[in-house]
Structure 1
């Protein structure tokens, strides 16, 4: 069984620079932002405005080279927050610092509390060591209403407070001035991390990558006074939250199981084993009697009951990557998504029933919907 995709439109990313990375999305209730960085700036636009031909691109100068950490943009496109090796910094469109929270260095062997990027930046240009080029990293994201910033950082904080022995912390910050409202020990040792937003500004998911050691999944709740954190699992990567906010989607660390969970308690509702349901790739050598198939680390909800997920990483050995529709009400594979022309990469959902792929040569976004929708 297959499901046909129809091309809605093709959109250029926010940047035309040859050095720009691939665009990414930030889905909010009723709104989706498209973000892209190059060597000097972060740029973003509102997807709905772009589809209407009215997109205005917001641009933010980078406080440090993009390889040093991650970033996000506020729902109003007026503030960008950068999670660097030594600090979380909020800037306006001119690049002026609005606030900064300094923390321990993400380079594992470094115990210094850096005051600025100049202390560890590019070898040959600054005074730092080459090890900082390959530092681990945390992540940041605005809450759904833009009033909070959730940040995963390396401890301790320069401002003090808390346990100085805590290795990593999850912070809830006031988006206006960076005041630390809540904090919790994640009990993780991250190589990197990523936040997945919930429609409720007081809830957030955090997926932490520890390399081969595991993939802790944490769920945070902020009640206005206290941050409470539940460790859902040690080996699951968080992919997406359903439109209602009642469920979330994960893939196991080794990518064999795609799972639906209840947000209320993190429990698994149902699972789908890739090896049991995904057919052999059409280009598979007939003499290969042990093909490996697994889910990608990307996937999302097209609506409350329908998920799109890929097996593109596993398929690369044989040819074109494949995308699949799943009905999560009974965790049933609905079939492969077929396209009118070859696509590349993983499917990225846009929060309104559509998804996009990225053209490798132009970095343009190809926006898709199901043909019968």
Structure 2
């Protein structure tokens, strides 16, 4: 079955307007950071982090809602995060976490062991800038909770005041106001990089850790205001991608096979796996190709009942699919009126974003017009 989505709006995220005329900059493509009450489009430039409010972009206001000077160049650290209240950005670096406020001032910083196993506890990036030992380092990540009160951070330890000096990777919960470490626990990982996947409850967080060919550990954290507990989910073979808006399910992609799986919370058990062969009845051109398409890594919850995911064919164009979260069945293929990229960005409110050939031109889509959900369309 083919589903024609409704184009809600199309807008461009500014990318090539430097603060100083004639100053060249390199930029990352737009990323989406979302919480139940706010959605931001974030762009990392070499010397700053820009946050755009999605609703303001849709209304034609392309000015950044907040901008934060970066303490080190783009590509040096891990995944950065902006507070949903737009009063803080936290930068995850090789040697420290830096929290920058809306005025551009340093609110706090937390030093930690370098991700390349250096124990010098550098006070600034300039101390090791250009050194070969720090050039190709692993990295961590961070996130600000939905209520803006805490920062979750995956870092390399020890910290400067630790008695033990053995290297480890830990998950920290910090006070967003002053950077105090409120809770910490080992992740028992060997990260090349990581990414936080937020839960609607500020006291819960998912962590996706990439270990290259060695695996993709999934950790689930719970902060009760006193203690941080970390649960290990699965056999380090599934990449955590998204959490449902109601918080009762999460979505993963297999490390090697890349088929999506829907898990239940709180125990993380798999309720449905969606193998690529389930697409066969929906592929009009299945007989025209000898290769089976495979799932892409980017997918997410359009709403509590629907997931949007992509498949990639070696010599074909990307296809997007709608999946029933209750049964794990493929509803059908999304038929866009224009070319889109392979990676849909689900927003959890019944909409999702795509890009065209220009990654800074974004399109917001919703489920077929006139239907409460795809599931009702399917059974009508």
Q: Is TM > 0.5 for Structure 1 vs Structure 2?
A: yes
Q: Deviations over 1:282-303 (max 9, x none)?
A: 77895x64x2432222111111
The residue matched to 1:311 in structure 2 has which SS? strand
Residue of structure 1 in register with 2:339 after alignment: 342
Residue of structure 2 in register with 1:119 after alignment: 127
Q: How does 1:1-373 map to 2 (within 5 A)?
A: 1-17=1-17, 19-54=26-61, 56-57=63-64, 58-69=66-77, 70-108=79-117, 110-121=118-129, 123=130, 128-129=131-132, 131-160=133-162, 163-233=164-234, 234-278=236-280, 286=288, 289=290, 291-312=291-312, 315=313, 317-361=314-358, 363-372=360-369, 373=371
What CA distance in whole angstroms lies between the structure 2 residues aligned with 1:278 and 1:152? 40
Q: Deviations over 1:91-132 (max 9, x none)?
A: 023432110011111125x343222101221x3xxxx22x42
The residue matched to 1:296 in structure 2 has which SS? strand
Shift of 1:361: 2.7
Tell me: CA distance 1:222–1:278, structure 2 relative to 1, closer, same or farther (3 Å).
farther
What CA distance in whole angstroms lies between the structure 1 residues aligned with 2:179 and 2:3? 46
Q: Deviations over 1:198-222 (max 9, x none)?
A: 0100000000000000000000000
The residue matched to 2:297 in structure 1 has which SS? coil
More displaced, 231-240 or 51-60? 51-60
Structure 2 contact 244–348 (Cα < 8 Å) conserved = no
Structure 2 contact 320–342 (Cα < 8 Å) conserved = no
What CA distance in whole angstroms lies between the structure 2 residues aligned with 1:279 and 1:30? 38
Structure 1 contact 257–274 (Cα < 8 Å) conserved = yes
What CA distance in whole angstroms lies between the structure 1 residues aligned with 2:333 and 2:360? 24
Structure 1 contact 249–259 (Cα < 8 Å) conserved = yes
Structure 1 contact 207–217 (Cα < 8 Å) conserved = yes
Structure 2 contact 4–335 (Cα < 8 Å) conserved = yes
Residue of structure 1 in register with 2:21 after alignment: none
Count residues with an aligned counterpart: 360
TM-score with structure 1 setting the length: 0.91
**Where does structure 1 lack aligned partners over 5 or more consecutive residues?**
none
**Where does structure 2 lack aligned partners over 5 or more consecutive residues?**
18-24, 372-380
TM-score with structure 2 setting the length: 0.89
Q: Deviations over 1:121-170 (max 9, x none)?
A: 1x3xxxx22x4222111000001111010000011112325x53241000
What CA distance in whole angstroms lies between the structure 2 residues aligned with 1:134 and 1:29? 36
Shift of 1:279: 6.2
Tell me: CA distance 1:360–1:63, structure 2 relative to 1, closer, same or farther (3 Å).
farther
What CA distance in whole angstroms lies between the structure 1 residues aligned with 2:37 and 2:113? 36
CA RMSD of aligned residues (A): 2.0
What CA distance in whole angstroms lies between the structure 1 residues aligned with 2:33 and 2:282? 33
Q: Deviations over 1:265-310 (max 9, x none)?
A: 1111111112343569777895x64x24322221111111100011
Structure 1 contact 325–336 (Cα < 8 Å) conserved = yes
